Amino acid sequence: MKQSVIFSIVLLSIVSILASCDFIRDLFPVSKSELTFKATISKDHPNDTILFTGNDIKSINGTTGEIRFVNSSMISKIKSYHWIKCYLGDDSLFTATVTLPVVSALINDLVINLNLNDGNFYFGDGYPDWIDNQGASAIRILNKEKRAPSWIRFIGELKSEGRYIEK
């Protein structure tokens, strides 16, 4: 009897310690994310494929736009697509164009851009980000204002899920 009580106490202690670890929370998220990201290869192939969900996102940095994934293999998957659409439940929030360093187009709307320096994706208001002329800047500002209500909902969901950071 004494051994079973000691065993139970030790087992409960180990479970309590493990339950408090970030590692366990990453493996077994407490709540299911309502965010879904669907991808499209091209306009010729309009069928969307669920690429990832909010549970696949470790964090998004509100200051830099950096997207960190739970699994780094997600970065290579994203490279295969041209557009990513974000949904909150059934509501479509926004569409972002996937840009890689080899893209030679000017894009004046939301992008998910691969940064070669660190190998991570970043949200941006256009591509390339160093464009500084009145025409492109004005269009980017206008497009950012149009998606502001959806972006606020997106950030609010990330915050409620504990996936939004600002540094």
**Minimum mean pLDDT range among 4-13, 47-56, 101-110:** 4-13
Residue 46: per-residue pLDDT:
64
**Domains in the chain: boundaries:** 1-30, 31-165
Higher pLDDT, 14 or 132: 132
Cα first-last separation, the chain: 53
Is 22 a residue whose pLDDT tops 50? no
Of the listed ranges 13-27, 131-145, 151-165, the least confidently predicted one is 13-27
Q: Considering the chain, what percentage of its residues have pLDDT values greater than 70?
A: 78
Q: CA–CA separation, 6 vs 58, rounded Å?
A: 38
**What's the Cα-to-Cα distance from 45 to each of 32, 40, 56, 99, 119, rounded to whole Å?**
29, 7, 25, 18, 27
pTM of the model: 0.76
Write down the pLDDT at residue 25.
Answer: 46
